[in-house]
Structure 1
Amino acid sequence: MLLAIQYPSWLHPEIIPGLPFLRWYGLMYLVAFGIAYFLFSYQVKQGEFERYSGCQKAMTQDDIADLFIWGIFGLILGARIFGTLVYNPETYLKAPWLIFWPFARDGAGKLVFVGLQGMSYHGGFIGGFLGTVLWTKKYKFKFAAVADIMAVSIPLGYTFGRLGNFANGELYGRITTSKIGMIFPQAPISDRFYLAEGWVRNFAEQAGIAVQEGASMINLPRHPSQLYEAFFEGIVLWLILWIIRKKKPFDGFLVCVYTLGYGFFRFFIEYFRQPDANKGYPISFGDGAANIYVYESWKNISTGQILCSLMILGSLAAMLLLYLQNKNSKEKKRKKDG
């Protein structure tokens, strides 16, 4: 008996089959940006930007729109450049013009639209961060105060970005025999397994998958890690930030909590995600050759976990520096007043 969950048969990357330009992935990112914009605007309209940040300069709706243009532009640039050059340098360093080329040739040699496949969250974080820094410097807003409002606005939108990955049938997790495993029918040949290998047949049997007569390869159930990320890195992290947003002790606190929370959740979810085949485990303290398709040991560390560790350490260091800076400012003000 099949133990895995079947991927929804009605769900395809294209919203309307046959129209490759209308894809769920792109629509979900538009929804994500829209939600972030709405939540940011809501906080500003409620006076939270001036009231809780200590920033005396008011922010208009035009300012918000301009900020989002800078931030989204930086995010897209960072996500794409980082995603291609860090995860697939062997391809894009040889042909850098392909970084922003949305077409590829299919098996028949025909040029087809595929979009910009390969966007890195960590690169998007860096790009969006730099875009916001540049905007605040140009228009003379306090970066830490703006970043706090942005940090509260982003996670819920991020949920829809991961739902876009799910609709695309990409970024799925490792193979599993658990009942929450899911078979992704769009998995490419490179992510299927040869039945000639004994462990593959044993795995299929444990998962309750019948092996077809004469088949040489099989598609095994995987963790729907996109949904894990949508829930923990999106909904749960947003709820935490939304609840504590009016109690922040100093500017920059919320963006540090966001960075820490995302890094923490993503680090552990990476144990369910499948690492990039060309990267494997940059750090591995396990015994023998590590199989990226199966969870074997918590000692096998992926590229994503290394980047998340840097996020966690960076957020803790920034939080300490901002705390000390805020404490010193209060001391100086107290001495001046008193």
Structure 2
Amino acid sequence: MDTLVYWWQHLPSRMDPVLFSVGGFAIRWYGLMYIIAFAVVYLLTRYRISNEKLPYSTSFTGDALTWAMVGVLVGGRLGYLLFYSFPEFISNPLGSIIPLNFSGGCTFSGIAGMSYHGGVIGVIIAIWLFARSRSTGFLTTIDLFIPALPLGYLFGRLGNFINGELYGRVTDAAVGMYFPLAPGSGLRHPSQLYEAFFEGVVLFLLLWSVKQRSPYPGFLSGLYLFGYGFVRFFIEYVREPDAHLGFVLMGLSMGQVLCVAMMIAGAGILWYCRTLPGPKK
């Protein structure tokens, strides 16, 4: 038993974020997890279209997810800069967005920092633009992908865990782990795994079980926004706040403040969409 506990607690130090390298170019697990996440959402959505006999073409899913991918990257990065690193954005707007370093040539500097909440906003805007370009309903389009979204998100959090980032607060519980990138030497909650389970697996099971009983367009989107905000709000109590921000409002982290906004938005969507004219199930 002691051997198993020791293995668990020291697991983060045994994981290499780099999958393999070719010359000076490294393939990282985190990037691979993004690809897997989009593939999972793509395959599950295609399954929905086929199994539920939904009126979408074979290219619709891939085209919509291409727009969504751009929304995730742009929204996630801008959201991080605006919500978590605004001074960096103000001091160097272009350099903080474009992952290139022009000092002494032109090199890829990488993207350091992505915001989930910013990514959600980016996806919403991207799908809205896509729906307009295809003359399809925005709410029905985004509801098509929502049930599969949490399972894709699961892999993003596993990528955070392998990177050893977004770790939890210090704990005495046996479930704690030693994260090499964390300050100090204490055990910390593996909050990435908590998020992977509740925001990924649990929300997926909930949304997938009710997807065919959705009473009106927008129901699944509102339920997802509220559900994600709800579980993430409580997980934030064991997740380490960003060091440069700490607690920003009444003892709440920035993540919790954004989750409250997310729950309000989700509840608002559920109420508003219910009042729209049209057929209800």
What is the TM-score normalised by the length of structure 1? Answer: 0.75
CA distance in 1, matches of 2:200, 2:37: 11
Letter in 2 for 1:306: V
Q: For 1:22, what is the secondary structure of its paired residue?
A: strand
Determine which of 91, 110, 116 is the counterpart of 1:94.
91
Aligned length: 273
> Aligned Cα RMSD in Å?
2.3
Q: Which runs of 4+ in 1 moved over 4 A?
A: 1-4, 17-20, 111-114
Please state how far the C-alpha of 1:184 moved relative to its aligned partner. Answer: 0.9
Please state how far the C-alpha of 1:44 moved relative to its aligned partner. Answer: 1.0
Identity of aligned residues (%): 39
Higher helix share: 2
Determine which of 266, 270, 273 is the counterpart of 2:236.
270
Alignment of 1:141 onto 2:146: no
Please state how far the C-alpha of 1:92 moved relative to its aligned partner. Answer: 2.1
Letter in 2 for 1:97: L
Name 2:37's counterpart in structure 1.
32
Determine which of 112, 123, 126 is the counterpart of 2:121.
126
Please state how far the C-alpha of 1:283 moved relative to its aligned partner. Answer: 1.2
Please state how far the C-alpha of 1:26 moved relative to its aligned partner. Answer: 0.2
Q: For 2:15, what is the secondary structure of its paired residue?
A: coil
Letter in 2 for 1:87: Y
Name 1:47's counterpart in structure 2.
52
CA distance in 1, matches of 2:28, 2:97: 18
Q: Is the 8 A contact 1:24 1:164 kept in 2?
A: yes
Letter in 2 for 1:153: A
Q: For 1:275, what is the secondary structure of its paired residue?
A: coil
Letter in 2 for 1:156: L
Q: Is the 8 A contact 2:155 2:196 kept in 1?
A: yes
CA distance in 1, matches of 2:121, 2:84: 16
**Relative to 1, partners in 2 of residues 1:73 and 1:7: Cα closer, same or farther, differing over 3 Å?**
same
Matches within 5 A, 1:14-93: 14-16=18-20, 21-47=26-52, 49=54, 58-93=55-90
Determine which of 153, 167, 171 is the counterpart of 2:166.
171
**Relative to 1, partners in 2 of residues 1:85 and 1:280: Cα closer, same or farther, differing over 3 Å?**
same
Which residues of structure 2 form unaligned runs of 5+? none
CA distance in 2, matches of 1:158, 1:41: 17
What is the TM-score normalised by the length of structure 2? Answer: 0.90
Determine which of 297, 301, 310 is the counterpart of 2:261.
310
Q: Deviations over 1:291-314 (max 9, x none)?
A: xxxxxxxxx211111111111111
Q: Deviations over 1:63-122 (max 9, x none)?
A: 2211111111111100001112321111221111222343679xxx9x986521200000
Q: Is the 8 A contact 2:20 2:26 kept in 1?
A: no
Determine which of 87, 111, 114 is the counterpart of 1:116.
111
Name 1:319's counterpart in structure 2.
270
Please state how far the C-alpha of 1:40 moved relative to its aligned partner. Answer: 1.0
Please state how far the C-alpha of 1:281 moved relative to its aligned partner. Answer: 1.1
Letter in 2 for 1:265: V
Letter in 1 for 2:174: K
CA distance in 2, matches of 1:16, 1:220: 30
Please state how far the C-alpha of 1:264 moved relative to its aligned partner. Answer: 0.5
Q: For 1:182, what is the secondary structure of its paired residue?
A: coil
Alignment of 1:192 onto 2:189: no
Q: For 1:175, what is the secondary structure of its paired residue?
A: coil
Name 2:200's counterpart in structure 1.
234
Q: Is the 8 A contact 2:229 2:260 kept in 1?
A: yes
Letter in 1 for 2:208: W
**Relative to 1, partners in 2 of residues 1:126 and 1:7: Cα closer, same or farther, differing over 3 Å?**
same
CA distance in 2, matches of 1:265, 1:23: 28
